[in-house]
Structures are given as C-alpha cells and as structure tokens.
C-alpha cells in the first residue's frame, strides 16, 4: 500500500526528483498525493486528491515559486502517494502530515494500531487534529517529545510507543536530517556515493535511474541521514547496525512502459521471456526444497490473492505429478491453523513483492514454532526473502501493474518444477516448461490479440462473467475471476465445473458469458459437459482449449501443454481482462480501491 519517496542531497530541484519518484510508485496507491520541501526556515507543502498523473514540477513551481536562495545547501524533500486506510480520500487526509507547531513533517505507510489511545492522550494535552488519519498522531507525538529532547531522540521515543506495521519518513524544520523507520512495510535506501545523495522509497524502480546501489531496512530498524552519511540503528536495542550495499541488476527500461500504453499489456507480453527465466533455477536448490518437503511433517503453501490461487494449483500439481499431499492456506487464515503446527512443519510462501503483510504474519507464526520457510518470490531482497531459509526467485523483473500477470506464470512454473523434482523427474519438468515457453512465444502475437479483441467487443457490456474449470484449471478459474474483477470491474466468479449444478447454475441467464478452461486431460469430457449445461440454459460459451468443441460459441486456441495447461490457459484471460478494461475506459494499471503490494492486514 502507499508509495513513499524521499530525497537527500545537493540537487537544485529535489521536488522534481520526488514527483518523478512518486509517479513510479503510483501503482502502490493513487487516491491522493503530496510533497514537502524543507526550506531554510520552513516547509513548502502541497497536497492533492486524485492521481499525480500528468502533474509536473513546472506545475508545482506555478503554485509556489522556489528560488535557490530559499533552500539550504543540502536539499531534503519527501512525498507520498496514498491508498486510503484511515480516513476518507480528502486533501486533509492526504500525506504529508505535520505537527501542531509545523516543526515536524512526515509520510507514512501502514497502520498504527494503537493510535486512538495515543490520540486521546494528546487531545487531553491540547493537541487538535486536522485529519482522520492515524498518521497525524505520530507527528504530534514527536512534537510532544521534542519539548524535552532533540528531533532524533523524540522520534525514537515516539516510535517506541507505536504498535502495528508501518514505514515512516520524518523531517524537522530546524535540522538538515532525514529519519526513516520500518516495521512490516518496505523501505529501501538508494545511495549515490559520488554525489552524496540518498533516496528512500517503497520500491527500487522509483530511484533506479539515479542509482542501483541499495541498502535495505529490516523490521524494527531506522536510518538517520545527515551530512555525515547514513547511520542504521535497531529501534529496540538502539545498537548500531552495519548495512552492506547491494547492487541491483534490474535495468531502468524494465521498469518503464516503453512502447506500450500500459504496464499490464507490457507485462503480459513479457511472458515470452519471463517463463524461460523462471525455469532457469538452480537444480541443487530445487532438489533441496523437494527434500525439505519430503522430510517435513506437513507442508503448507501460503499466498494471498493471485498467489493464493497459484498455491491451489500447486496442490493439484503435487497430487498429479508427485502423488503427494500438500496443504494450501491463505496467508490471512494461517494463524488459525497454528495449533497443529510443529518445528517439523514447512511453510512455502508465494508472493510477488515479498512484502505481503498476511503472508509475513504466517512466516512469523511458523518461525516462532521453529519450522522452516521457503519463499517463491519476485523480489529477492524483500522482507520475506530475508526471513526465509531458502528463496526460489521468479526472475520476472519489475511488475508494476496491480494485476499480476508475468509473476503469476513464473510462480506456476516454479511450482511445476518442484512437483517433478519430488519424483526425481526435474529434467522432464524442465523440458515440458521449455516447450511451453516456446509455444507461448508463438501465442503472443498481434493476430492472437485481435482474435481476443473481437470477443472483448462482444462481451464488454456484460454484467456478469462466469469461469469454470476442473482439476488443474479449477484454481485458474478462480484466478481468471480475479483478473476480470480487478481491471474490467465486471462481476466475475470462478467455479469448479462440477459445482454448477449445486447452486451457481441458477445465475445463468440468456447470453451470460461463461469461460470454460479446458485441458487435454482426464477432466476434458466433464468440463465440456458442464459447459453444455450452461449453454442449454442460454449461456454464451467461450472455450479456452487446445481443440475446438461443438459447445463453444467462441474458441480461443491454446497449445496442448499437458501439466502446464494452467500457465497457457490463464494468458488469454489476462489479455481479455486488459482489453475489457481499456474498452470500458478503466485504467488497467491502477484499478480502483486496489494497490500492488498489500502491506496492511
């Protein structure tokens, strides 16, 4: 949730850097935004409701002209792009927030769980609140403690009282200092040693054009940046923490749209290459994870949203290929299963960002019990990665669209490799996936897009879309519904084909679109029979299948890829969802009410 960006350094136009950074973080939250610049004696603050969009630094200069004489030698600016959690979408609730005396300004991502208790205490001391947010509480609390100490110590004391998961950056009117802290929400420091610059952001692409050298804040750590450099400290023990500098291999263009109108379609098309990268795993590490699964007393695949549907698919893959049972639990529900977990339990966490709060909480549960953690991640330097015993990287590169596409198929590929490795058939799994990747390369072409576009035109006004699947493709029916819901805003539901007659078939009316996900396996005849049940009640049947069938009103061909059918069957739905979003004049990269990385519970 929420995008945070901060700049510390000698640049003439720090707000220009912050605004550019916020635009690159807008996928994390985009209902309002704001920036703050420290001048010689004050702050310049501007906040707006809505997306930062086409707003530019020149627009900001018109609002308040900034001259170099107003600014200190070292420039400090912060910014925030909001996904509302506490309080409605208003200018008052937008960040940055400031203290009563405007001495302290801050931006915050996450939730302060005990803010009401602290707020009541501050009101009794005479503090008033302009916003409905939990964030403003921290600003006033820091001011309160600055009556008895300096800015840095006041921040430390205030944060020691805060409960919850958060990332926060703070600046003070009278000190050339930038303080950042985190617990459960990501914050990354970018360092440009040559120019003495520091960047702080919720995600690396925000500052990647300036530096690829980063330092990661871990939970309960803070960083104090001033002219002498960056000092890292543990917030609980107040001990100094030494941080190594990591060089990121991502290329700037990977995080840009390039010739594409939206990130979502760019990332769908990148699956021509990302699947190959996902397959290119360390055989030794894959076998190590397979061995851990065999020796565990209960293996639990855990994910949220789309990653949760990948985990469900893994359950079918392990059953079919490895003849092995695994447990699948959504991250938010994992703690309710802790009563039968032991130190022999294994958790395999699937996540794009590696910062999903509910999945991190699941890891905390199993770590306390002494169990092991494996993570399948797209961000090898995330919190989840650092908490894991083994990390299997997706290698999909930056995924900026809120609706996950290339990371999803990469996750499915890694789960497939693990299932084959369980029965010492990793080579067979790799060959199948390589063949699948080459066939996806043939799929993703303009003619294929045009064919799906014609379908999009037919169903763009539909109020409901239903998706059915069986076996390996039942979880992909659920994932298809997520994709359509996220970006088209059409009501979509996925069902196991056999469950239709137990209730959902009552929803079918004349010309209701129903997508049937078909694989050339033991489920084929049954899912086609289910599709006929829908058609006989007036439904419009869209078949995603290697072969055409009489029941289909519209056929989208996919390659026959055996156990990789979930990978190839979800791609046409990704394209369909994207096209429906554009036709319905929605922004597919930034769907309403959603954010890319869900860092609150």
Q: What is the pLDDT of residues 214-263, one digit of tens each?
A: 998 988 999 999 999 999 999 999 999 999 888 887 666 666 788 899 99
Work out the pLDDT band at 88, boundaries 50, 70, 90: confident
Which residue has better confidence, 294 or 246? 294
- 406 tagged catalytic: no
> Can you state the angle between helices 565-583 and 426-443, rounded to 10 degrees?
30
> Can you state the angle between helices 115-124 and 135-146, rounded to 10 degrees?
50
Q: For residue 51, what pLDDT is reported?
A: 83
Radius of gyration of the chain (CA): 25
Q: Measure the CA–CA gap between 180 and 22, rounded to whole angstroms.
A: 17
DSSP assigned state of 26: G
Q: Measure the CA–CA gap between 174 and 103, rounded to whole angstroms.
A: 8
Q: What is the pLDDT of residues 204-217, one digit of tens each?
A: 888 988 998 999 89
| Phi and psi at residue 88, to the nearest 5° | -70, 180
Count of CB atoms within 10 A of residue 240's CB? 9
Strands 197-201 and 229-234, by their bridges, are: unpaired
> Can you state the angle between helices 151-161 and 135-146, rounded to 10 degrees?
130
Q: Which of 415, 561, 596, 601 is catalytic?
A: 596
Residue 110's nearest CA partner among 178, 33, 182, 31 is 182
**Domains of the chain, with CATH numbers?**
3-254 (3.60.20.10), 259-443 (3.40.50.10490), 445-587 (3.40.50.10490)
Tell me the longest C-alpha to C-alpha distance in the chain: 79
Q: For residue 601, what pLDDT is reported?
A: 54
Q: What is the pLDDT of residues 433-470, one digit of tens each?
A: 999 999 998 899 999 999 999 999 999 999 999 999 99
Q: Measure the CA–CA gap between 148 and 124, rounded to whole angstroms.
A: 18
CA separation (Å) from 377 to 185, 395, 399, 404, 407? Answer: 16, 8, 12, 13, 9
**Mean pLDDT within 569-575:** 98
What is the DSSP secondary-structure string of 74-103? SEEEEEEEE--SSS-S-TTTSSPEE-TTS-
Residue carrying the six token digits 């605004």: 19
- 2 tagged catalytic: yes
Angle at CA 325, nearest 5°, toward 321 and 331? 115
Work out the pLDDT band at 42, boundaries 50, 70, 90: confident
Lowest average pLDDT, out of 50-59, 76-85, 99-108, 428-437, goes to 50-59
């Amino acid at each position: 949730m929420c995008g945070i960006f901060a700049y510390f350094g000698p640049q003439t136009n720090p707000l220009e850097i912050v605004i550019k950074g916020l635009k690159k973080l807008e996928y994390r939250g985009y209902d309002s935004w704001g920036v703050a610049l420290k001048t010689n004696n004050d702050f310049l603050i501007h906040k707006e409701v809505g997306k930062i969009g086409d707003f530019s630094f020149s627009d900001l200069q018109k609002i308040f002209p900034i001259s170099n004489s107003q600014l200190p030698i070292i420039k400090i600016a912060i910014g925030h792009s909001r996904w509302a959690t506490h309080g409605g979408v208003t200018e008052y609730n937008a960040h940055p927030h400031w203290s009563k005396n405007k001495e302290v300004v801050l931006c915050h991502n996450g939730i302060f769980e005990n803010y009401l208790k602290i707020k009541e205490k501050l009101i009794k001391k005479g503090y008033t609140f302009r916003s409905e947010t939990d964030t403003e509480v921290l600003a006033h609390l820091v001011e309160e403690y600055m009556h008895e100490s300096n800015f840095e110590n006041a921040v430390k004391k205030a944060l020691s009282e805060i409960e919850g998961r958060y990332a926060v950056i703070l600046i003070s009117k009278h000190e050339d200092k930038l303080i950042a802290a985190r617990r459960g929400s990501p914050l990354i420091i970018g360092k440009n040693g040559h120019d003495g610059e520091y960047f702080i952001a919720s995600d690396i692409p925000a500052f990647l054009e300036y530096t690829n050298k980063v330092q990661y804040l871990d939970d309960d750590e803070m960083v104090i940046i001033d002219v002498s450099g960056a000092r890292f400290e543990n917030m609980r023990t107040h001990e100094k923490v030494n941080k190594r500098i990591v060089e990121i291999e991502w290329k700037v263009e990977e995080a840009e749209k390039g010739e594409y109108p939206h990130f979502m379609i760019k990332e769908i098309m990148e699956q021509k290459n990302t699947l190959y990268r996902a397959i290119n795993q360390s055989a030794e590490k894959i076998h190590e994870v397979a061995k851990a699964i065999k020796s565990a007393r209960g293996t639990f695949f855990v994910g949220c949203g789309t990653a949760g549907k990948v985990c469900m698919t893994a359950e079918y893959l392990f059953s079919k290929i490895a003849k092995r049972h695994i447990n699948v639990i959504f991250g938010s529900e994992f703690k309710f299963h802790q009563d039968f977990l032991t130190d022999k339990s294994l958790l395999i966490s699937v996540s794009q960002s590696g910062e999903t709060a509910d999945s991190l909480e699941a890891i905390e549960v199993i770590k306390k019990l002494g169990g092991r953690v494996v993570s399948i991640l797209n961000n090898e330097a995330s919190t989840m990665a650092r908490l894991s015993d083994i990390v299997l990287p997706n290698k999909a590169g930056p995924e900026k669209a809120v609706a996950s596409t290339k990371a999803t198929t990469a996750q499915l590929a890694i789960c497939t490799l693990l299932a084959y490795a369980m029965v010492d058939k990793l080579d067979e799994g790799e060959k199948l996936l390589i063949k699948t990747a080459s066939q996806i390369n043939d799929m993703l072409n303009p003619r294929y897009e045009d064919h799906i576009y014609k379908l999009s035109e037919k169903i763009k006004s539909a109020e409901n879309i239903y998706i059915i699947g069986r076996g390996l493709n039942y979880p992909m029916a659920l994932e298809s519904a997520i994709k359509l819901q996220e970006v088209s805003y059409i009501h979509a539901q996925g069902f196991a084909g056999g469950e239709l007659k137990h209730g959902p078939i009552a929803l079918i009316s004349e010309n209701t679109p129903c997508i049937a996900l078909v694989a050339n396996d033991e489920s084929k005849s049954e899912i086609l029979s289910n599709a006929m049940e829908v058609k006989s009640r007036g439904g419009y049947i869209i078949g995603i299948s290697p072969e055409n069938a009489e029941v289909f009103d519209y056929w989208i061909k996919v390659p026959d890829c055996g156990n990789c059918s979930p990978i190839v069957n979800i791609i046409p739905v990704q394209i369909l969802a994207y096209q429906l979003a554009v036709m319905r004049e929605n922004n597919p990269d930034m769907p309403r009410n959603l954010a890319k990385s869900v860092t609150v519970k």
